[in-house]
A = this chain, B = another copy of it.
């Protein structure tokens, strides 16, 4: 009848989804109670059962909703990857900041990582999609983007997949512990973490340039 099991619908649905995400994330599936979700959503308990047959149905809907948002955000962030060799360090740093801020350290990212750990064994198929569309897509897409930069001569990479995983790992190196313990990094911390990561990444994979003021010494020598 109503169709659109996906989008908007009335405001109640979104309110329920948001509240359920909040409570499920804090209490886990078993620890979350429908009554608490209803209270947080400012909605009667019956209304929840009116939209979702049972607790598990609601849980699946919540996870899928968050996954959709996270996937869209990841796509958006990936499309902002720098494709020019000019000011590569700044471009990669800005990308790393966006990646951390909008995909990994944000609300949805923490939700998914937390839930996939607690309920992953119970709902393997549910999170399998995120594994492929989320972290999996991130590394494969990033691998291709790095390959493009390497092809332009801006990077020297032997294994693009490994480099992609290492870029993500380095970008999170300074924030991992904070996010593990529930904290949220400030903008300054995000910036500093990204800069540390990109500097090390470029030391390992950057084109070997001796000094900043004399770029591409080989080409300069050949030209001269």
Are B28 and A28 in contact (CB-based, < 8 A)? yes
Are B181 and A173 in contact (CB-based, < 8 A)? no
| A29 at interface, CB cutoff 8 A | yes
Q: In the assembled complex, how far is the CB of residue A221 from the closest CB belonging to chain B, in whole angstroms?
A: 18
Are B170 and A136 in contact (CB-based, < 8 A)? no
Contact A159:B196 (CB < 8 A) given known A31-B28, A169-B170, A170-B169:
yes
| A51 at interface, CB cutoff 8 A | no
Which residues of A122-179 have CB atoms within 8 Å of chain B's CB atoms? Answer: 127, 131, 135-136, 139, 159, 162-163, 165-166, 168-170, 172-174, 176-177
| Copies of this chain, whole number | 2
Are B173 and A165 in contact (CB-based, < 8 A)? yes
- Measured as residues with beta carbon below 8 angstroms from the partner, the interface class of chain A is 35 or more
Contact with B along A99-112 (1 / 0, CB 8 A): 00000000000000
Are A173 and B182 in contact (CB-based, < 8 A)? no
Are B162 and A196 in contact (CB-based, < 8 A)? yes
| A44 at interface, CB cutoff 8 A | no
A residues with CB within 8 A of B: 26-31, 113-114, 116-118, 120-121, 127, 131, 135-136, 139, 159, 162-163, 165-166, 168-170, 172-174, 176-177, 180-182, 196-197, 200-201, 203-205
Q: In the assembled complex, how far is the CB of residue A181 from the closest CB belonging to chain B, in whole angstroms?
A: 6
22 A-B pairs (CB sep. < 8 Å): A26-B121, A29-B31, A114-B118, A121-B182, A136-B177, A139-B177, A159-B196, A162-B174, A162-B200, A165-B173, A165-B174, A165-B176, A169-B170, A169-B172, A169-B173, A170-B170, A170-B173, A200-B205, A201-B204, A203-B203, A203-B204, A204-B204
